Amino acid sequence: MTAISPLSIKEFTRESIKCLLGSQSRRNQL
């Protein structure tokens, strides 16, 4: 297994936050 670098963690959290915000806004529009 390859070690997870802090940069990839930052990218992963940013993408997950983007997904969460996107799903919330989509739910509000319905």
- Residue 1 predicted with pLDDT over 60: no
- Residue 22 predicted with pLDDT over 80: yes
Rg over alpha carbons for the chain, rounded to the nearest Å, is: 13
Assessment of whether the complete model's pTM goes beyond 0.85:
no
Higher-pLDDT residue of 29, 21: 21
- Residue 29 predicted with pLDDT over 70: no
- Altogether, the residues listed in the chain come to a count of 30
